[in-house]
Structure formats: structure tokens, C-alpha cells
Amino acid sequence: AQSVTQPDIHITVSEGASLELRCNYSYGATPYLFWYVQSPGQGLQLLLKYFSGDTLVQGIKGFEAEFKRSQSSFNLRKPSVHWSDAAEYFCAVGGATNKLIFGTGTLLAVQP
Amino acid sequence: SQTIHQWPATLVQPVGSPLSLECTVEGTSNPNLYWYRQAAGRGLQLLFYSVGIGQISSEVPQNLSASRPQDRQFILSSKKLLLSDSGFYLCAWSVLGASGANVLTFGAGSRLTVL
């Protein structure tokens, strides 16, 4: 079955600290992978995506993610978190179909 | 540039009343259109998607229906709302890219509270 697991429901980091949000997927074909961010009461904004090629992808707002096929993972990272990064983050997987499957999200809190 | 609009942004409805949420896309043709629901503390659940006018695929049996009367219009409806229909409803569009992937762009969402 196709699925996305985000094992961390809630993460708190200090401003300026590094961040890694975990994402594991199960997909029967070549996956296309995405990270979206959602501010409270808002829609989802695309942070970055991986289709093929270089397994380290850069996104907006200083985020990056690394695709590791052997681990079925696509973890999101940022070297130094800003208070404005507090939001909910969703990992998603899709393929040559019309649908994306989303994880349950990780809520990020940033301490001053 | 492409834009997506959803309305209403917020809706409070009594149990048993009808529902109509509307989504329109501008600046693109023949988009794929989607309705997702986000319940509190849960991820995004795909409810319906459409690849063309009058073509609706339902992902989860439920109290809701969707229609696509025009190329860039997608409507989510219910004849009689249930308490469990409360949630945050997100419309999204995509166009199949050269890579073969659909990249979804989301609207701002509609918050539905059923009392």
C-alpha cells in the first residue's frame, strides 16, 4: 500500500538551531516527493520537490531535503531555524498518477 | 500567472443543512482539480479529483459529492451535513508536467463547522 509516515507529530527547536523533519514513504513505483508547509488557517505552500537526478534538493526559505532510496526517506532540513518557520510541515508522495498521498504532518514550534 | 480561489473562507452550518463550497482557477486550462479535507490533528485526505469537465473520481465513500460544471470550476456539495463533516477543506489544482509529475497548488481553504 502507498503511504507516507511522518513519525514526529510535534517538534520544538530553539531559534538558530538546526532542524530535521523525518519522512518515510511506501510507494510501488518511482516516487515523486514533496514537502509542503502550512501556516495556521492557511493553505499549503510547496517548499521543494524531488523528481529525479541529484538526491539533494534545494527549496524555498533555506530548506533542503535528501532523497535516500535505500531508506525510503525524504527528510527535510534547515541549518538555522527562524521564528517565522513555525508552522506545520507535510511530506507527500506521488507518481505518474493524478494523486498525492500526504503524511499526517509535523507541527514545528520555535523557541526564542 | 495562475491563481486559485476558494469560498467561502469560513462557514458554520447546522446538522442536516446543505453545503456548497466553490473553487475556481485562473490562468490555466484543463487543470486537474482536487478536494482535500483536513481534520484536526490529522493529515490531508483526498476526497475527490477531476481530470476534466464532468469527470469526477471519488476516493472515499462519504456524505459529500463533487461536480465540475466548467473547466476551471470545482464544487463540493452535500445535501445534509453531518457533525463529522466539520473540517478544513482545501481545493488544489495541477497540470501534468514534462517530468510526468503533478505538482499541486492549493487554495487558502474553507473552514467548515457543523453544529
The answer on pLDDT for A11 being more than 90 is yes
- The distance of A92 to chain B (nearest Cα, Å) reads 10
B103 interfaces chain A, CB cutoff of 8 Å: yes
Q: Do A99 and B107 touch (CB under 8 A)?
A: no
Best residue of A100, A104, A107 to probe chain B, by most B CBs closer than 10 Å: A100
pLDDT digits (tens, 9 = 90+) for A58-110: 999 999 999 999 999 999 999 999 999 999 999 999 876 668 899 999 999 99
User: What residues in A contact B74, CB-CB < 8 Å?
Assistant: none
Measure the CA–CA gap between A41 and A97, rounded to whole angstroms: 28
| CA of A12 vs chain B CAs: smallest distance (Å) | 17
Under the banding of pLDDT at 50, 70 and 90, the label for residue B76 is very high
Chain B residues near residue A98 by CB distance under 8 angstroms? 32, 49, 51, 57, 94, 96, 102
Q: For the segment B33-57, what is each residue's pLDDT rounded down to a tens digit?
A: 999 999 876 789 999 999 999 999 9
In B54-83, the residues whose Cβ lies within 8 Å of chain A are 57, 59
pLDDT band at B101 (very low <50, low <70, confident <90, very high): confident
3-state secondary structure of A69: helix
Is B94 near chain A, with CB under 8 Å?
yes
DSSP secondary structure string for all residues of A11-52:
EEEETTS-EEE--EEE-SS--EEEEEEE-TTS-EEEEEEE-S
Q: Name the grid cell of B65.
A: 459529492
Place of cell 451535513: B81
Nearest CA in chain A to B48: A99
Which chain B residue has the Cα nearest residue A98?
B102
Characterize A55-75 residue by residue with b for buried, 16 or more Cβ atoms within 10 angstroms of its Cβ, and e for exposed. eebebeeebbbbbeeeeebbb
Q: Flag whether pLDDT at A16 surpasses 70.
A: yes
pLDDT digits (tens, 9 = 90+) for A39-58: 988 899 999 999 988 999 99
Mutate to test the interface with A, among B5, B21, B36, B38 (most CBs of A within 10 A): B38
